Structure formats: C-alpha cells, structure tokens
Structure 1
Amino acid sequence: MGAPEPGRVGRVGRLLPALAWTALGYNVLVILWGAFVRISGSGAGCGEHWPLCNGVALPVSPTLHTVIEFSHRLTSGLSGIFAIALLSLAFFRSPREHPVRVGALLSLLLIIFEGLVGGVQVLLGLTATSTNPARGFVQGVHLANTFALLGALLLTAVWASGGPRLRMRGQGALGWLAGLGLLLMLLLGMAGAVTALGDLLFTPTGMTPLDTVRQDFSLSASIIQNLRVLHPVLALGVSAYLFWFAGLAGTRQGEGAALKPRRWKTALHAVIALQILAGVLNVLLKAPGWMQMLHLLLACVMWLVTVTLCYAALVARPAPQSLDAGRAVGA
C-alpha cells in the first residue's frame, strides 16, 4: 500500500464508526419525538419540574401527556449515554491527534447544552400553551443547538470512517461562503422553530392564510406572531443562496464516491425543492402536526446535506475550470 494522502486519517476500527452513525440517526428520531411532544401539548406533562417529573424520579399513575413528556426525557437521556460512549471509544481507539476526538467531545458538550435548554423551558413554564415571548427565543436557541449537534455527530461519523481532516487555512473565498451558508441555515432553522410555535399557538381553525397574516400584524398580536412571516421570506432567500453555493461547491473534485461535491450539490438542490414544496403545503394545509414533523425532518436532512457539501468541498481539490481557477487566470 502507498503512503496515506495528506490530511487523510485512517479508520479507527468498526465499532466507533457504527456507533457514530447510529447516534446520528437516533438523535434525528429524538428530535422528531421532541416535536411531537410540542405538537401534542405534552411539554408540561411533568409539570414545572426538571430533571424530576412531577417531583418524583418515576411518575406514578401518569396521564398520557406525562407519558409522552417522560418518554422524551428518557430518549434524550439515552442520547447522552450514546455521546459518553462515543467519546470514550474515540479516546480509547484513536490516536491523540485524530479529529474524531474533537467531534465526539463537541457532540457531548452540545448534548449537555441541549438538555439544559430543555430544562430551562420546563422550569420557566415555557411549554404547552405558554405564549410568553421568551418561549420563542428559547425555542430558536434550542433548534440552533440541535442543528449544531447533528453537524458534530455527522463529522464525528465521517472522521471515524476515515474521512479527511478538515483544514480551514488556505480555503479562500470558498471557506467564507461555506460558513455563511451554514450560518444562514441556522438562522432559517431558528426562524422556522418560532413559526412552528406560532402555528401551534395562534392558528384557529377556519382561517385562511391571508387571515393569518392579518392576525399576525394586528395590534393585539404577540412578537411570536409578528415573526411568523419572517420564516417564509428568509426561506426563499436562504434557499436561493444555497442553490447558488451548491453550484459553486459542486465544481470541486472530491476523493472517493462518498465525498464528491457534485453528488452532494445534486442532493442539496433536490432537498431544497422538496422543502419549499413542504413549506407551501404546510401553509395551505394550515400546519397539521404530521406536516410539521415532515417539514422538520426535511429541515434536518437539508442541514446534514449542507454540512456534508461544505465539508466535501473544503477537503476537495479545485477543478481546473472552477471559479478559483478563473480568478487565478484573471489575476
């Protein structure tokens, strides 16, 4: 066998990559279950108690809402166990400078923060039917941290599977454009979280989309209602930017079929189209619970594809006819 390519790191056994990919998939399911807790109005199923449930470790004679909320806490706790196991295995099975250690440590820290944000929501009563404006802010932070967690778990899995080390030096404009794309996705996700909350709290049956817009800008509307219109506007702008960025990043030449930027460019274009369609249907159908969960699932997929495309482009080589090459010739 020849010498390893610069920047490429080796696999660290079979168990660590399997655990990392499993943890990533499991956390997507936990996120969807958390959305179901919100949609079903079960966020106050354990009262304003955290980490206990109604003041006890194990609820006795629980209501349905209590069962739903408590099960979410259990599944979230299992995410923490996954993260601890992932970090332990990463330190035992990888060399000291292996990037998988950084990914696993960051994943654990983000899961801890995820639990703390959830705890703050419960302790401050920002659950169930609460219309406190602070709930919208906390909901947005929660979603941004969730996306960051999924991104960290994804990179951990990629590095555990032998993916190249990510280096930001020397990336030029592409590095800044990729960072901007990820930041915009986070902002879009936060706005979406506030919109989903507004759909849950402020959309009476029988109202048309136009009636909803009028209600959101009435004198009696809360800030959560005022911000609902921001999400569709932001979605169009961010989608346009990511569509353009994907075309640019797709000109890079990746190593291996799994990390070809062109493949992930196509995937991002497809998921953007699906997400826009889902958003339109969500409005037309007046945001039913199942549609909100599908919209969230597509948002998670869109985020993961965006992270993968950025990573694949930044570890790849510029194509001869890429924008970078054109600039070099023009210089």
Structure 2
Amino acid sequence: MRLGFRHLAATTMGMTFSLILLGVYTGAIGAGLSCAARWPLCNGAVFGLFPADWPSFVEWFHRFVAMITGFMIIGTTYAAWKRQPRTDIRWASTVALVVLPVQVLLGANTIWFYGPVAQVLHHTAALTIFAAMTATTAWAFQSATTATEAATDADTDAGADASADGSSGPVRL
C-alpha cells in the first residue's frame, strides 16, 4: 500500500495535536522553568540528552517532538505545493509553515518570560498551526474522495453507455 499526501497530512496533524497536549503538560508542571530562563540551552547544555530531573526531561522531550513536528510541517507544505492541484490545500499548509517560526520564538518567550501572556500566545499559535493542518488534512481526504467518486461515476457512465447500445456493460456485484 502506497501512502500518499493525505496520510502525511494526517500524521502531521496528529503529531501537532500530540505536541499541543505535551506542551500543556510541559507548562502545567513548569518544565520551562527548569531551564533557568536560558533558551535554547537548558541546564547549560545545547542537547540535554541526560537531563538532571523530570521537568528538564519533559522540556527537552517537548523540544524534540516540536522539532520532528516542524520538519513534518515543512515536508507537508512542500508536498502540497509539489503535488496538490488544489490551492486551498496549498495555502492551508502554508499558513502552518508561516506560523511555525513565530511559534518557535513564542516557545522561547515562554522560557524567558514565563507567565500567562507568554503561555496564551504560545498556545494560540499552536492552535493556529493545528487548525491549518486540520484543514489541509480534511481537504486532502475530500479531494481523494471526490476523485474516487468521479472515477466510479465514469465507470458507471461507461457501463450505461455500453448497455444502451445492446452490448453488455461491466458486471457489478
């Protein structure tokens, strides 16, 4: 089975949603505070592969999942512009891509200035990306469904035309 664009979009949307949930947990336990207002560093390391405590691990894991999700958003947008004829799919994925660097800076802002405003802005950008990826995915599946229905209708019409002239049309079970 060949996985196509709609599966990439759905996986990216799922990763984005999972990242939002992880971000809520990260903020709830104050994991960003474990980095002592140093971003991109945390506990003096660029890559905290062996963090000192649970909050540091959660913060680094959130960053790691965010990096993977970011690359998936880039890939989804590239694939949309390369392979999708529908402009709504292209532009929805582009919205997610454009908001992505803003989201990264807002994430850094939650480390530097931990507070309600920083958290709200960070989550607003996350939900904007999620909404854009949801639209991308929904429209990609809609396109696939529409294409399948069009092919089925074409087969049915061909069968009806063949039957009209006295020949036997395609057999449907």
Common fold by TM > 0.5: yes
Structure 2: how far apart are the matches of 1:123 and 1:85? 30
Contact 1:83 1:108 in 2 (8 A): yes
Deviation at 1:74, TM superposition (A): 0.6
4+ long deviations beyond 3 Å: none
Deviation at 1:61, TM superposition (A): 5.0
Q: Partner residue of 1:20?
A: 9
If the length of structure 2 is used for normalisation, what is the TM-score? Answer: 0.73
Contact 1:79 1:111 in 2 (8 A): no
Equivalent of 2:108 in 119, 126, 129: 119
Q: Are 1:110 and 2:99 an aligned pair?
A: yes
Q: Are 1:142 and 2:88 an aligned pair?
A: no
Q: Partner residue of 1:72?
A: 62
Equivalences for residues 1-331 of structure 1 within 5 A = 14-59=3-48, 60=50, 62-95=52-85, 98-124=87-113, 126=114, 135-163=115-143
For 2:43, what is the secondary structure of its paired residue?
Answer: coil
**Which is higher, the Rg of structure 1 or of structure 2?**
2
Give CA-to-partner distance per residue, 1:47-69, whole Å, 9 cap, x none.
21212223322225522211111
Q: How many residues align?
A: 143
Judged with a 3 Å threshold, the aligned counterparts in structure 2 of structure 1 residues 157 and 61 are, in CA distance, closer, same or farther, namely closer
Contact 1:21 1:157 in 2 (8 A): yes
- Higher RCO, 1 vs 2 (CA within 8 Å, ≥6 residues apart): 2
Deviation at 1:34, TM superposition (A): 1.1
For structure 2, the residue ranges without an aligned partner over 5 or more in a row are 147-173
Give CA-to-partner distance per residue, 1:5-60, whole Å, 9 cap, x none.
xxxxxxxx951110111111111111111111122221222221212223322225
Q: Partner residue of 2:168?
A: none
Structure 2: how far apart are the matches of 1:120 and 1:138? 6
Deviation at 1:160, TM superposition (A): 1.8
Structure 1: how far apart are the matches of 2:128 and 2:120? 12
Contact 2:110 2:122 in 1 (8 A): no
Q: In structure 1, what residue type is equivalent to 2:10? A: W
Q: Give the structure with the higher percent helix.
A: 2
For structure 1, the residue ranges without an aligned partner over 5 or more in a row are 1-12, 127-134, 164-255, 257-331
Structure 2: how far apart are the matches of 1:121 and 1:138? 5
Structure 2: how far apart are the matches of 1:44 and 1:112? 22
Q: In structure 1, what residue type is equivalent to 2:62? A: H
- Tell me the percent identity: 24
Q: Cα RMSD (Å) of the superposition?
A: 2.2
Structure 1: how far apart are the matches of 2:13 and 2:93? 11
